[in-house]
Amino acid sequence: MLATLTTLLAQVQIREAGSGATTCQGKNEAFCPSYVIDNIDDYVSPVLEHLVLVLASVLAGFLVAMVLAVLSHGRRWLIPVFIGTTGVLYTIPSIALFLLLLPITGRGTETAIIALSLYNLQIIYRNANSGLANIPRSALDSGTGMGMTKRQLLWKVELPLALPEIIAGVRIATVSTVAIATLAIFAGAGGLGEILYNEGVQRGVFKTNIVFGSLLAVSLAIAFDGLLILVQRFAAPWRRARAL
Amino acid sequence: MTGQESAAGGSEHAAASVVFRDVTKRYRGAEADAVEHLSLDVPAGEICVLVGPSGCGKTTAMRMVNRTVEITSGDIEVGGTSVTERSPAQLRREIGYVIQQIGLFPHRTIAQNIATVPALIGWDRERTRARVRELLELISLPADVADRYPAQLSGGQQQRVGVARALAADPPVMLMDEPFGAIDPINRERLQNEFLRLQAEIRKTILFVTHDIDEAIKMGDRIAVLREGGRLAQFATPAELLMDPADDFVEDFVGADRALKRLALMRVSDIDLWEAPLAFAGQDTAEVRAKLAGAEVPWALLVDSDRRPIGWLSDRDLAAATVPHRPDSSPDPVLDRDDVLRDALSDLLQSQTHYAPVVDASGAAVGVLSLDVISDFLASDQAKVEEHPATARPHD
Ligand SMILES: Nc1ncnc2c1ncn2[C@@H]1O[C@H](COP(=O)(O)OP(=O)(O)OP(=O)(O)O)[C@@H](O)[C@H]1O
Ligand SMILES: [Mg+2]
């Protein structure tokens, strides 16, 4: 394992830090806006890669989690099985998981997405599961009593009522994935990790890139969170109505 | 789902009878039956109330009708066919159901809630919209609640919506499990009266569960009193139940004030009133005194030319040669023939008089009600034979 890690790090290109000792980046001050502005083009593709990593892995995690939640909804004995399995996956350190997957899926975006999805799985499954378990008994009884089939009950009553909790899970998953995905660089998948490690740490801890890379990650997380809060409101108008 | 119309569409407006034949339910793992050999015959268009102490099996008995609880043995027929001959989902769409906790869907608007069954059986949008509008009017809610969510309505309004939702596809049979249970007494009374008026119009066959004997007497055409273990203690009309409780359990359950409760079932016009010795202004008092000699009521009632009561004549009034225009005492309380007997009694007691004139719709005196008349009536057999069809049942 350690050997793999070393070879991996060796593959990362090492560059010299800035040339002149008089410039801001030359003195390696905390943050050099001029450097960022001059090299702004270099940041575009890491951000886009990061977006793809987050969106793809949250979507995949969400889809699988929902299938698991619906499967275990009618079969209660499956719940501890799924929670246990996804929980074990969740506890594997992320770098280790990337490296474990390398021999199977090779280096690249796919590997990173698979690993990140496995993390999302646990968070979204847990929320979906508790959302489905918390449907008011009276709503289920009246639905059944009026002649809804199991499937109609699921689609018309249970899933819509569990939606706020499901989306809350997606929010947590998304925000933490924005952070964890910076490690995708170790699977060779690019992303903001490229700015932080390749351009930051590897360049003798180039502070400007570390600060700016972090800033980008935090901004992304906040943006996703805000977006999902909007989705949550839109998906559950009756919750706002209660406040009237 | 499939767009096909359910059987309820074909049998619209026609109520169906509900018959329990020796029905028993034992829940899995239970040591005793929740409902035991229950036989009931509920004619189409009637309200049958299931009443009894908590846990006696009322909800269980009701839920076997729409198969949300499966029957262990025996059979239930709705409209002449066994409930087991239809798929549960199909059956349930043909039977309106108001569950014990109302159970509106919190995430759906009032209109969507009411349209639940129409959506399941594939009504088109226009028909559904029109039906929702019609039902909101029927339950006297303003049309603009249609787009609100249940949480934005008061308990009483939610209760009404629950009833409207059960009525949506015009089912021939309705199951109502303590529909007014969670409502304060004042609103509860209002809802009960409203519902009785509604039922007079729609004439569904209704199974109505309550643990409140007063509600049972008020709402029921027939009452099934259940005891622990879902055993039928008595199945009778409210009047019969109050007159002739089958055993100590029923007598206890009905309460010590059952004589008074019987009065709530009747109107003043249901009993034989005393004849009022009428007097007219200007009439010879000797004539009036002669009339009083043989009368049950010791006072003469002064009436105008349309026989509307003006007041009671005192001895001093009658001491003159002719009857005066203005008597010493007022005729109050004046009772209406259509007043509920219990309310009439209360009026009598409250005004501390022994006699009260009774008038018809035009205000003309038709007789006199006294405490003696009421107690004689309760002691007589006449009360036993009184029968009250749903529409004639007194309510405010
Ligand atoms: N799903 C169930 N499984 C097992 N036992 C049940 C179930 N539902 C009800 N029972 C039992 O059956 C009996 C009758 O219950 P039921 O709910 O029909 O009573 P009820 O008359 O409606 O009571 P309440 O007035 O409290 O609503 C009770 O002893 C109850 O514990
Ligand atoms: Mg009950």
| Chain segment A61-101, per-residue pLDDT in tens | 999 999 999 999 989 899 999 988 888 888 888 788 888 88
Q: Which residues of chain B does A244 touch, with a Cβ-Cβ cutoff of 8 Å?
A: 152
Q: Is the pLDDT of residue A10 over 60?
A: no
* B213 and B340 share one domain: no
B224-282 pLDDT per residue, tens: 999 988 899 999 999 889 888 899 999 989 887 877 788 888 888 888 888 888 888 88
What is the average pLDDT across B29-38?
93
A242 vs B151: CB contact, 8 Å cut-off?
A: yes
Compute the average pLDDT of residues A223-230: 94
Q: Which domain holds residue B151?
A: 3-255
- Residue B347 is part of a domain; what is its CATH number? 3.10.580.10
Interval A172-218: pLDDT, tens: 999 999 998 888 888 778 888 878 777 666 667 677 788 888 888 89
Is B272 in contact with B377 (CB distance < 8 Å)? Answer: yes
Q: Quick one: which of A237, A223, A202 has its CA closest to A51?
A: A223
Q: Residue B159 in contact with residue B183, Cβ under 8 Å?
A: yes
The predicted structure's pLDDT at residue A101: 82
Give the pLDDT band (50/70/90) at residue B394: low
Identify residue B262 by its one-letter amino acid code: R
From A2's Cα to the closest Cα of chain B, the distance in A is: 53
Whether B22 and B155 share a structural domain: yes
Residues B217, B90 within the same domain: yes
Beta strands in chain B (DSSP E): 18-25, 35-42, 47-51, 73-78, 81-82, 95-98, 173-177, 205-210, 222-227, 231-236, 278-280, 300-303, 309-313, 335-336, 355-359, 365-370
Among residues B201, B231, B255, the one where a domain terminates is B255
CATH assignment of A47-237, among 3.40.50.2020, 3.30.70.420, 1.10.3720.10, 1.10.10.60:
1.10.3720.10
B38 and B141 belong to one structural domain: yes
| pLDDT tens readout for residues B107-154 | 999 999 999 999 999 999 999 999 999 999 988 899 999 999 999 998
> Residue A8: its pLDDT value, please?
42
Q: Check residues B292 and B36 and name the one with the higher pLDDT.
A: B36
- Per-residue pLDDT averaged across B165-189, rounded? 90
| Residues in chain B within 8 Å Cβ distance of A143 | 103, 105, 116
**Residue among B28, B50, B54, B59 whose CB has most ligand 1 atoms within 8 A, to mutate:** B59
Nearest ligand atom owner, CA of B55? 1
Q: Is residue B384 part of a domain?
A: no
Q: Would the pLDDT of A19 be above 60?
A: no
Q: Are residues B67 and B168 in the same domain?
A: yes
What residue ranges do the domains of chain A occupy? 47-237
The answer as to whether B261 is a domain residue is no
Based on the fold, state whether residues B278 and B306 are members of the same structural domain: yes
Residue minimizing CA distance to atom 1 of ligand 1:
B27
Q: How many domains does chain B have?
A: 2
Round the average pLDDT of chain A to a whole number and report it: 83
- Say yes or no: B251 and B296 in one domain: no
pLDDT-derived band of residue A16, with 50, 70 and 90 as boundaries?
A: very low
Centroid of ligand 1 to alpha carbon of B55 (angstroms): 5
Q: Are strands B300-303 and B309-313 parallel, antiparallel or unpaired?
A: antiparallel
Beta strand pairing call for B47-51 and B73-78: unpaired
Q: Residue A104 burial (CB < 10 Å; 0-12/13-18/19+)?
A: exposed
Comparing CB atoms, the residue among A141, A146, A160 nearest residue B93 is A146
User: Are B186 and B311 in a shared domain?
Assistant: no
